[in-house]
Structure 1
Amino acid sequence: MEDNSVITPWEVSGEIDYDKLVERFGTTRLTPELLERIGGHTGRLHFMLRRGVFYSHRDLDLVLDSYEENGKFVLYTGRGPSGPVHLGHLVPWMFTKHLQANFGSKLLFQFTDDERMLLRDDMDEGVTGHWVYQNALDLMALGFDPDKTEFIVNTRHIDKIYPIALKIARRVTCSTVRAVFGFREETNTGIMFFPAIQSAPCFLESERAGEPIPCLIPAGIDQDPYWRITRDVALRLGYPKPAQVHGRMLPGLRGDAQMSSSLPSTAIYLTDVPALVEKKIQYVDTPGGPDGCPIFLYRYLLLEESDEAVNEVYESCRSKGISCEECKMGLAKLVNRFLKGHQRRRELIKGSVKKMLE
Structure 2
Amino acid sequence: MPRLFLETERMANINSGLGQVCLHLGHELVRQRPPGWEITFLVPHDQVGVFGPSVQYITATRLSRVWHPWKFDVWHSLYQGTRYMPMRKSRFIYTILDLNYLSLTEIGADRKQRQKKRYQHAIDKAKVITTISEYVARDVSEQLVVPPDTPLKAIYCGVNTPDAVPSASPSVCPDGPFLFFIGMIQPYKNIHTMLPLLEAFPAYQLVVAGPNNRPYGREMRQEAERMGVSDRLLMPGPIDEATKWWLYANCDAFLFPSLMEGFGLPVVEAMRFGKPVFSSSLTSLPEVGGPDAFYFPSFEPETVIDTFRKGMDVYRQDPAMADRFRQYSQRFRWDTVAADYWTLYQDVALR
TM range (shorter): 0.3 to 0.5
Question: What TM-score results when the alignment is normalised by the length of structure 2?
Answer: 0.34
Higher fraction of helix: 1
Max Rg structure: 2
Higher fraction of strand: 2
Question: What TM-score results when the alignment is normalised by the length of structure 1?
Answer: 0.33
More contact order relative to length (CA 8 Å, sep ≥ 6) = 1
